[in-house]
């Protein structure tokens, strides 16, 4: 593991890469969309020249080759999955992209200190390539499949968090929250926040992270690390609507952070 190396898998507009560079890390930024990869090469031209950033234009997939990839009218939703690319009434068009397996990337650049993955339903291709005897210290991936959480636990990660990407705050849930008062007060708090013109009190992470970015990582994320079972319970509680939270973003837009 290289302690000064970070992988930004799903570079998008480069805001995450810029944050990691500002913290002194070397960054391997991986992006399937040719237009965004080219924009990244221009944005980080100086860092690329110094060897601090390496932009890999490829989609992470199960094997080498070409594959259909859907470019969404909202580039954050670009995906192998057309349905994902067209969610929320977006449109998409198909292109062919070069695929590389994640183990090929790891062999070329080494194991990072932090692996950030956000590639719209394909995150598991990255996670499944990790070697138990040479793991990143920290990993984050977008919530999609609950089995990915179990996989990371079995791989050797013992500490976890669910971070809501709207505000970079940790999600937690316990059976005690299911009582009548909790269900009634949560919508009231949300309505008050909207009346005040904000979704929630500002925090440091939100102030210093661009909207749509992955935000802080590792020990800088909000709240305490938790056991896998607690995080799995929270995941299911939000998915099944047992929290009383009326805002669907809390159900669908969060990252899973893992630590050894």
Write the pLDDT tens digit of every residue in 107-136: 999 999 999 999 988 999 999 999 999 999
pLDDT at 212 (0 to 100) = 61
Q: How far apart are CA 32 and CA 23, in angstroms?
A: 25
Residue 208 pLDDT > 70, yes or no?
no
127 or 249: whose pLDDT is higher?
A: 127
What mean pLDDT comes out for the span 202-224?
72
CA 247 to chain centre: 20
pLDDT averaged over the chain? 85
Using CA atoms, how far apart are residues 159 and 227, in angstroms rounded to an integer?
6
For residue 205, what pLDDT is reported?
46
Task: Give the lowest-confidence range in 33-42, 88-97, 98-107, 183-192.
Answer: 183-192
Q: Edge-to-edge, what's the strand order for the sheet holding 169-170?
A: 53-57, 26-31, 2-9, 112-117, 138-142, 254-259, 159-164, 169-170
Residue 189 in 3-state DSSP? helix
Asked if the model's pLDDT at residue 249 lies above 60, the reply is no
Q: Which of 19, 28, 23, 198 is nearest to 111 (CA)?
A: 28
**Is 191's pLDDT higher than 60?**
no
Interatomic CA distance for residues 66 and 203, integer angstroms: 43
* pLDDT confidence band for 204 (50 / 70 / 90): very low
Report yes or no: 218 and 114 within 8 Å, Cβ to Cβ.
Answer: yes
In this prediction, residue 165 carries a pLDDT of 82
The candidate with the shortest Cα–Cα distance to 7, out of 25, 34, 22, is 25
Is 237 in a helix, a strand, or coil? Answer: helix
Instruction: From 89, 76, 83, select the one nearest 33 (Cα to Cα).
Output: 76
Cα 213 from chain centroid?
8
Q: What is the mean pLDDT of residues 186-190?
A: 48
> Percent of the chain, pLDDT > 90?
64
Look at residue 116 and give its three-state secondary structure: strand
- Indicate the domain borders of the chain: 2-136, 164-259
- For the chain, the residue count is 260
Q: How far separated are the first and last CA of the chain, in Å rounded?
A: 13
């Amino acid at each position: 593991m290289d302690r000064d190396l970070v992988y930004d898998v799903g570079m998008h507009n480069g805001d995450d890469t810029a944050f990691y560079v500002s913290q002194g890390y070397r960054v391997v930024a991986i992006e399937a969309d040719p237009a965004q990869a080219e924009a990244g090469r221009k944005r980080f031209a100086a860092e690329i020249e110094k060897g601090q950033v390496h932009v890999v234009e490829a989609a992470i997939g199960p094997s080498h080759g070409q594959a259909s990839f859907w470019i969404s009218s909202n580039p954050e939703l670009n995906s192998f999955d057309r349905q994902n690319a067209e969610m929320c009434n977006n449109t998409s068009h198909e292109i062919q992209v070069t695929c590389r397996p994640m183990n090929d990337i790891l062999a070329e650049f080494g194991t990072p200190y932090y692996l950030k993955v956000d590639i719209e339903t394909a995150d598991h291709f990255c996670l499944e390539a990790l070697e138990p005897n040479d793991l990143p210290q920290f990993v984050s991936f977008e919530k999609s499949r609950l089995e990915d959480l179990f996989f990371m636990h079995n791989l050797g990660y013992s500490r976890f968090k669910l971070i809501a990407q709207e505000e970079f705050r940790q999600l937690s849930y316990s059976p005690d929250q299911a009582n009548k008062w909790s269900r009634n007060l949560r919508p009231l708090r949300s309505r008050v926040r909207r009346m005040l013109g904000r979704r929630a009190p500002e925090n440091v992470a939100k102030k210093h992270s661009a909207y749509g970015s992955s935000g802080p990582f590792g020990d800088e994320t909000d709240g305490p690390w938790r056991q896998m079972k607690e995080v799995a319970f929270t995941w299911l509680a939000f998915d099944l609507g047992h929290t009383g939270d009326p805002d669907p973003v809390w159900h669908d837009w969060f990252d899973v952070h893992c630590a050894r």
